[in-house]
Structure 1
Amino acid sequence: MVENGDRVCWKKKSIFFDLEYWKYLPVRHALDVMHIEKNVCDSIIGTLLEIPGKNKDGIAARLDLLNMGVKTDLQPKYGERRTRLPPGPWNLSRAEKREVCNSFYGMKVPEGYSSNIKNLVSLQDSRLLGLKSHDCHTLMQQLLPVAIRFVLEKPARYAITRLCFFFNAICAKTVDVSKLDKLEEDVVVTLCLLEKYFPPSFFDIMVHLVVHLVREVRLCGPVYFRWMYPFERYMKVLKGYVQNRTRPEGCIAERYIAEEAVEFCTQHLSDVSTVGVPSSQKMGVSKPLSGCTVSVVDQDLLNQAHLYVLENTEEVLPYIEQHMIHIKTAYPKFRKRTKWLQDKHNSTFIQWLRFKVQSELEEDNHGVSENLRWLAAGPNMAVPLYRSYLIKGIKFNIKAQDDVRTTQNSGVYLLAQTMQVASAKDKNPILSNMGFYGVIQEIWDLDYQKFTIPVFRCDWIDSSGLVVDELGFTLVDLSKIGHRNDQFVLASQVKQIFFVDDPMHRGWSVVLSMPNREYNDVIGDEVLGDVIIDCEPFTRGMPNVDTFDELVGDLGGQNIRDGCEDIWIE
């Protein structure tokens, strides 16, 4: 016990400080981001929805404000039978609580993203119940900022959104060290903003620990190396080994040794799968899952899919250049009209390539590969259609399949180089990268006799149905369909996304990305499956303080929320 005059500063000093090296350790304890994130999420959800046991507001919290001499207009008003608490900046009206719960209730997320959010919502009393650690993780990472877009005053709402942006940045699989100082400054400002709009009782030790998370990332590396998710999951596996509850340790040891022995044997046997890992869930596996029907498709659509495959095959690229030179030579008057040349190429390339490859095959030492020969011949007219397909461990469904399921696996995103025109009369478009958002309507497996290539036929959102708001959220209108002449994409090229109804703008949806499950595969500077989506707020980081103040303004000294019901306590 250390004393400072008559005041006791500390009640206990850890025995570890008796070690000579202990005071020199830069990290004496590793903070668990999983539990910090869960407790912060519980505090926010519990306070906003006034969940008993998790609500940080109440008579004691209001008396704290009165004793501190701040926000005195929020002090409790005592009556004969009930006590009235004026609504603060953190309180939601009954309509807003229903709005938040209805937003969560209507969310459909990809399979494996989280538990069914619908099962966590109680619409009768406007609460979220039974939140697990991973549920809180998905809420803080992406879902909560969307659900509260239409509630609270802007300053309080944006302060919560900034905190969600911070957790998303801190849990990223790749960390830019040069941005850690700015991230640390931003989280301090974020907590200061929360202090302006939330009661002091909200700021317990868990909220305070958020300040130290960036320092531990700087010293210890990315969060996913240190958080408790894998250990908690493995503890569940060990609990499943227990058959005799009077001897749990013996059951666990026996089952563990048996699995180790089987795992060792599989390393010396061919064509044997590892224990406990279904083959369908392994990363890198690509195969159809369900709903195969063979259909003779429209010839124009088949040519469109076949052309896309050709233009995205490396062996065909030299032939594309030759064909463009051939067109410019045959039509010298149009050699400077880029759009006309591209349209002419699209309509004639398939037939030209077939004759070109046939003529080369008739020559000795032609050098045409087997794959190119079958590609030039074209796919079979009878195309297998599937409802579900597994690509690199990620499951994709068609829209009709999602409509009857509780998950959403039909959203896709493609970053591609395309021609962009200023207007319909623009004859000289420019090539640039552009993001496309779409919904899978059909899954085709093009049959080239010796091999098959899966492609998606998608409804792509037109540029008129694409908006980016002030915080960087991408909003799409799923009813505005464009790019009718370019509907197909290779299944291996897309990234899975999902759409959540925007509570602020009816008829629009917020685009959210599916997190990457693979941590190790790296090509250059880009992590596979972790492609940055255009205008995604969670990868762009938080707005700086000046921008934040410009966006939200201030409450103007008004602490009591207008249009919000009083809180009555018996």
Structure 2
Amino acid sequence: MKWFKEKRLDDGVLRHPADSDEWKEFDTQHPEFALEPRNVRLGLATDGFNPFGNMNNSYRIDIDVYMRPLVDELNELWKNGALTYDASTGETFCMHAALMWMIHDWPAFGDISGWRTKGHYSCYTCNDEPYFESLRSKTAYSNHRCYLPDDHLKRKKNRAYNGKHEKRKRSLVIPIEKIEEQLGSVTGVTYGKHPSNRKRPRQNPNWTKVSILYELLYWKKKKLRHNIDVMHAEKNFSENVVGTMLGIDGKNKDTDKARMDLEDMNIRKELWLTKSPDGSYVKPRGSFSLTPKEREGFFEFLKSVKYPDGYAANILRSVNAKNGIETVHNRDARNEDYGVRRQGLTIFTETARPIGQIRKHVEMSQELRDITHWFLLYNSPEIEKEHKNLLQIPSGQDITQIQQKEFPKWFKEYINRLRVDEALEATEELWSLANGPNLLVKEYSGCIINGVRFHTKELDNRRKSQNSGVLTEGDYKGEMHEFYGHLCNIWEFEYMCQNKVVLFQCEWYKHGNTGRSRTVRADTYCTSIDVTSRWYQSDHFILPSQAKLVFYLNDTKWGQPWQVVQQVQHRGVFDVPEVGDGEPQDQPEFNDAFQQENIN
């Protein structure tokens, strides 16, 4: 509850509600509430209301009547608070709560706020000065460009919009005093169902009531009260775009009336309906609609798509469905790892959970074991940082190669000497790490880390989903570089004292070259990789915590062997930096165990 106060990185980037102007303005208006970070700030989400659990059964209720108990309790929590026990400190404190904002779709916004969302004045941001146009079958708002900055290029693009340069200027912020004045003139509103079942009349400019939320003692002074749910907006927009592109009945916005509207507005003459000699009308094909051959190619592309597990349903089953593509949500406990990182050496405290064991006792070659052992030592920040500075490096030789050859042997001998002397610095974890892993390892087909599921490429080849694409960052010629590839094997190495380490063995695609032999093509929107290329074939291990999940799509522009790589944004998984990120965690000062005699 105190994360936003103690660990949130305040660098001007909007990642958390606490970074918003509304949150900061609320703190300024109510400093006593802001002083206690454990006070609760609520967001209320509303969607379709159906008390009978049957979508075919229509039901009408005044939402203000339904919310009466909630508003009363919110006012009680604001004024008097509630005695609450803080388990982290063992203390009891008086916790207060406030409703910060609402989240809903557009129709629910009208129900909650009292602003009528139909007709010429339905645009709440336009308020009492809407820029609307009456078309043949609907009301259109052509003023969206007036909210752009004065020097925005879209203001001058007339052909792409209504045929005019946009010179009007409007602000997205509606003064609080203006709303208060409008609501002050709303009269004669009775909450609950009207005896004659009539709708409430519209009052100036487009209000039907004063929302019950205005009874909250802090609600009137809030600038941001309502948020439109992004999911609903994206879903509706995407359905309309795809429906128009494919010409799907019921979803296609390129109708005959829409073409007539263009003619009425005297814009885009190439799209006007043309009259044939027999009296019928012909609709010219728009550049935004696909030809039968293009539609066939689009469907073939969809059939080739393999999304990561839990990202979407099997799209192959839905390509020909009339109702679009069905998506699924991550289920609780499906993608859980081992939880919070425990105390100890970084290399032994990974939370990765391997799944799908293939073989229990795989004998690994001594060469591969040595490579693995060096990789784990090199990625142990408690050890490697001191060793690098103490080596005597002959001119022209690579420090990493010398480390890989000399350090594991020295470290093992040194820790074992300290162990014999019963030195406190030689902890069980250091002793375990210094002596290396067992030659017998376990092999798995999957792994879960930070709520993200990975599969090996071999398993992916037998599935309809794709979870083997990996992205990691590493040094290339002195600069940080993104490495793309596939996960080939998942190994679990066992050490003494019941310590274990999970490693990903990957193959990397080469994309550090340019020119005619380049193996990567990147533009503003996409990165495409030649998946027949290979890179760093002797450096294929990474820790699960170093991997990010990506998936690959066939590149329809360049063809085989090019594939477009896309990084996955997982539901409920957020990569948010905290105060102190990038700084080493405090570790016990076992400096003697980390040093090495000079090697000539």
- Normalised by the length of structure 2, the TM-score is 0.54
Corresponding residue for residue 296 of structure 1: 363
Corresponding residue for residue 556 of structure 1: none
Report if aligned partners of 1:466, 1:474 keep a CA contact under 8 Å in 2. Answer: no
Corresponding residue for residue 278 of structure 1: 333
Q: Following superposition of structure 1 onto structure 2, how do residues 456-495 of structure 1 map, counting pairs within 5 Å? A: 456-463=504-511, 464=513, 466-495=519-548
Corresponding residue for residue 87 of structure 1: 285
Alpha-carbon distance between aligned partners in 1 of 2:133 and 2:575, rounded to the nearest angstrom: 53
Report SS of the residue matched to 1:16: coil
Q: Following superposition of structure 1 onto structure 2, how do residues 351-370 of structure 1 map, counting pairs within 5 Å? A: 351-365=409-423, 367-370=425-428
Pick one of 291, 297, 317 that aligns with 1:119. 317
Pick one of 399, 402, 407 that aligns with 1:349. 407
Structure 1 residue 377, shift from structure 2 partner: 0.8
Corresponding residue for residue 468 of structure 2: 410
Q: Which amino acid aligns with 2:381?
A: E
Report if aligned partners of 1:286, 1:393 keep a CA contact under 8 Å in 2. Answer: no
Report if aligned partners of 2:555, 2:563 keep a CA contact under 8 Å in 1. Answer: yes
Corresponding residue for residue 102 of structure 1: 300
**Closer, same or farther: CA 409–526 of 1 in aligned 2, 3 Å:** farther
Report SS of the residue matched to 2:373: helix
Deviations along 1:103-152, whole A, 9 cap, x unmatched?
22211111111222222212xxxx764345x58xxxxxxxxxxxxxxxxx
Unaligned runs of 5+ in 1: 136-228, 234-275, 329-333, 421-430, 529-570
Corresponding residue for residue 515 of structure 1: 569
Report SS of the residue matched to 2:545: coil
Structure 1 residue 521, shift from structure 2 partner: 7.7
Q: Which amino acid aligns with 1:311?
A: Y
Q: Which amino acid aligns with 2:239?
A: D
Corresponding residue for residue 49 of structure 1: 246
The number of equivalent residue pairs is 363
Deviations along 1:246-302, whole A, 9 cap, x unmatched?
xxxxxxxxxxxxxxxxxxxxxxxxxxxxxx943753673632221330211232222
**Closer, same or farther: CA 77–525 of 1 in aligned 2, 3 Å:** farther
Corresponding residue for residue 141 of structure 1: none
Alpha-carbon distance between aligned partners in 2 of 1:363 and 1:283, rounded to the nearest angstrom: 35
Structure 1 residue 319, shift from structure 2 partner: 5.2
Q: Percent identity?
A: 26
Structure 1 residue 525, shift from structure 2 partner: 5.8
Pick one of 447, 453, 457 that aligns with 1:389. 447
Report if aligned partners of 1:292, 1:387 keep a CA contact under 8 Å in 2. Answer: yes
Structure 1 residue 380, shift from structure 2 partner: 1.0
Report if aligned partners of 1:289, 1:390 keep a CA contact under 8 Å in 2. Answer: yes
Greater relative CO (CA pairs within 8 A, separation 6+): 1
Corresponding residue for residue 587 of structure 2: none
Alpha-carbon distance between aligned partners in 2 of 1:344 and 1:105, rounded to the nearest angstrom: 50
Structure 1 residue 381, shift from structure 2 partner: 1.0
Higher mean Cα deviation, 26-35 or 472-481? Answer: 26-35
Alpha-carbon distance between aligned partners in 1 of 2:270 and 2:335, rounded to the nearest angstrom: 60
Alpha-carbon distance between aligned partners in 1 of 2:241 and 2:476, rounded to the nearest angstrom: 46
Q: Following superposition of structure 1 onto structure 2, how do residues 7-22 of structure 1 map, counting pairs within 5 Å? A: 12-13=202-203, 14-16=207-209
In terms of fraction of residues, the more helix-rich structure is 1
Report if aligned partners of 2:357, 2:442 keep a CA contact under 8 Å in 1. Answer: no
Structure 1 residue 2, shift from structure 2 partner: 11
Structure 1 residue 25, shift from structure 2 partner: 5.9
**Closer, same or farther: CA 364–296 of 1 in aligned 2, 3 Å:** closer
**Closer, same or farther: CA 289–102 of 1 in aligned 2, 3 Å:** same
Task: State the superposition RMSD in angstroms.
Answer: 3.5
**Closer, same or farther: CA 344–419 of 1 in aligned 2, 3 Å:** farther
Deviations along 1:174-213, whole A, 9 cap, x unmatched?
xxxxxxxxxxxxxxxxxxxxxxxxxxxxxxxxxxxxxxxx
Matched, 1:444 2:444: no
- Normalised by the length of structure 1, the TM-score is 0.57
Q: Bigger radius of gyration, 1 or 2?
A: 2
Unaligned runs of 5+ in 2: 1-118, 122-127, 140-200, 340-350, 583-600
Structure 1 residue 466, shift from structure 2 partner: 4.9
Matched, 1:433 2:480: yes
Report if aligned partners of 1:475, 1:511 keep a CA contact under 8 Å in 2. Answer: yes
Pick one of 371, 393, 411 that aligns with 2:429. 371
Report if aligned partners of 1:456, 1:490 keep a CA contact under 8 Å in 2. Answer: yes
